[in-house]
Amino acid sequence: MTSRDLDSRAAAVDPLGPVRDPQEPGCDVFLTGTVFLDIIFTGLDSAPVRGTESWARGMGSSPGGVANMATALARLGLRTSLAAAFGDDHYGEYCWDALEQGEGIDLSMSRTIPGWHSPVTVSMAYEGERTMVSHGHEAPPPADAGPFPHCPPRARAAVAALGAGRGEEWIGEAARHGSRIFADVGWDDSGRWDLGALADLEHCEAFLPNAGEAMRYTRTDCPRAAARALAEKVPIAVVTMGAEGSYAVDGRTGETAQVPGITVDELDPTGAGDVYVAGFVTGTLAGWPLADRLAFAGLTAALSVQEFGGSLSAPGWPEVAHWWRTAPHALRGRYGFLDDLIPPGSGPAARRRAVPTIGFRHSA
């Protein structure tokens, strides 16, 4: 069997194959949010300086925002449904095609809005950090009382971004229809960091903040203590700790797990948190042990930061397979569960990278 054959088989990996049931919903994961057109500049030696012109050595474009998470889920083999608004400009058309045709994401609950322009983010990556400038307007509500996004489809799971003091009707609706809710959270601009203000936490099976967010919400000074405190509020609490890896507590069983991070040459951290959540959701729906879920989520996030951009840096099974074929011996034990998912072999996997332009015009 050739390396190309092996990569083809890896691309077709269905991590939920052993647990699929014809009676269960056809959608694995539902999510909703704002899709941005991301324009990413890389190869900057330092942050731009006021009053000067900076030249970047690299540039790419790709769908961003909630598209980062949707793409990461789809590339890991999950049947993904996204409800989002798209502008009827070239940017919106590009993002729609990239997600539906390029990634196989179900956009039947999404809509194109005449006269509304797509939100745009310009991201500048340098010194392992990023600076972003965004522009956009809130999408107008649908003209009718249609399904967007208050009647989510039946799905095994849903991914939500929680906000202080902001409840989302669809989250409770999805939970009532049997979806397992996985949530992360953003920075609290109010500075209150009130865990009680996360109205939809009661519907969640798993909550995955980073260490800074977790410690602020729990008033603790240790990520592990924060995870234990969060596990009193939600069945599974996962706290990501950057290069140190992640720590999780299953509040139902008392089980804990910690997996160190994987050292890689980091180019751009954009979207790494989304990729981590996607990896954890995949392992959870597949029924893996808690430690394996942390390991897989950390691995996919590490692979993503080696490329620039958000959605197009998300790894699929070919990238995971290539890493596993060349993984250091010291990691073979920890990631041995990949043997059951990836066929043996060798050879580099083709990686999709962001391209400099929205689209090329091809001659006949």
Is a pLDDT exceeding 60 seen at residue 5?
A: no
Query: CA torsion, points 141, 142, 144, 149, in degrees to nearest 10?
Result: -100
Q: Which of 333, 325, 337, 321 is nearest to 12 (CA)?
A: 321
Is a pLDDT exceeding 90 seen at residue 65?
A: yes
Q: Are 245 and 259 in contact (CB under 8 A)?
A: yes
Residue 346 has a pLDDT of 42
Listed in sequence order, the residues at least 6 apart from 9 whose beta carbon sits closer than 8 Å to its beta carbon are 343
Where is pLDDT greater, at 46 or 108? 108
Q: What percent of the chain has pLDDT over 70?
A: 88
Encoding tokens for residue 203? 């519907």
Name beta bridge partners: 99: none
- pLDDT tier at 343, thresholds 50, 70, 90: low
- pLDDT tier at 354, thresholds 50, 70, 90: low
Residue 323 has a pLDDT of 92
Of the listed ranges 15-19, 35-39, 123-127, 274-278, the one predicted with least confidence: 123-127
pTM score of the predicted model: 0.90
First-to-final CA distance of the chain: 36
Q: What percent of the chain has pLDDT over 90?
A: 65
Of the listed ranges 1-10, 114-123, 209-218, the one predicted with least confidence: 1-10
Of the ranges 42-51, 74-83, 266-275, 305-314, the best mean pLDDT one: 74-83
- pLDDT tier at 3, thresholds 50, 70, 90: very low
Listed in sequence order, the residues at least 6 apart from 152 whose beta carbon sits closer than 8 Å to its beta carbon are 30, 32, 81, 83, 109, 158, 170, 173, 174, 177, 179
Is a pLDDT exceeding 90 seen at residue 214?
A: yes
Residue 48 has a pLDDT of 86
Is a pLDDT exceeding 80 seen at residue 10?
A: no
Query: SS3 for 142?
Result: coil
Residue 3 phi, psi dihedral angles, 5° rounding: -60, -35
Per-residue pLDDT averaged across 48-54, rounded?
Answer: 90
Residue 197 has a pLDDT of 92
Q: Say how far apart CA 162 and CA 186 lie, in whole Å.
A: 7
Listed in sequence order, the residues at least 6 apart from 81 whose beta carbon sits closer than 8 Å to its beta carbon are 27, 29, 30, 31, 105, 106, 108, 109, 152, 153, 155
Q: Say how far apart CA 35 and CA 238 lie, in whole Å.
A: 26
- pLDDT tier at 149, thresholds 50, 70, 90: low
Q: Are 173 and 196 in contact (CB under 8 A)?
A: no
- pLDDT tier at 345, thresholds 50, 70, 90: low
